[in-house]
Amino acid sequence: MSFEAIEQEIATWDDTSLQRLAGLIFRLRHQRDPAWKAELARKIDDRTPGRWISLDEAERTLDARRTAQGG
């Protein structure tokens, strides 16, 4: 399948599918980056309470971003 055919197919997708594709691309690009993987592991392992937010705060932040983006 050519890249142009892929572009044409993707252009027909709904917003949810496009968002999933964007997440996949982000994940694939960063899987190959050892520095990013190490930084992510460091953040996940960080148990300092002041550096974490609650799930409610995370949801509010994500909702605010969606609203700001018109979504």
pLDDT tens digits for 6-59?
999 999 999 999 999 999 998 898 889 999 889 989 988 999 988 888 899 989
- Residue 21: CB partners within 8 Å, gap ≥ 6? 10, 13
Domain positions in the chain are 1-32, 34-71
Residue 52 confidence (pLDDT): 87
* Pair of tokens at residue 37: 């993987």
Residue 40 confidence (pLDDT): 86
Q: The tokens 């700001």 sit on which residue?
A: 68
Q: Higher-confidence residue: 69 or 40?
A: 40
**Residue 71 banded pLDDT, cuts 50, 70, 90:** low
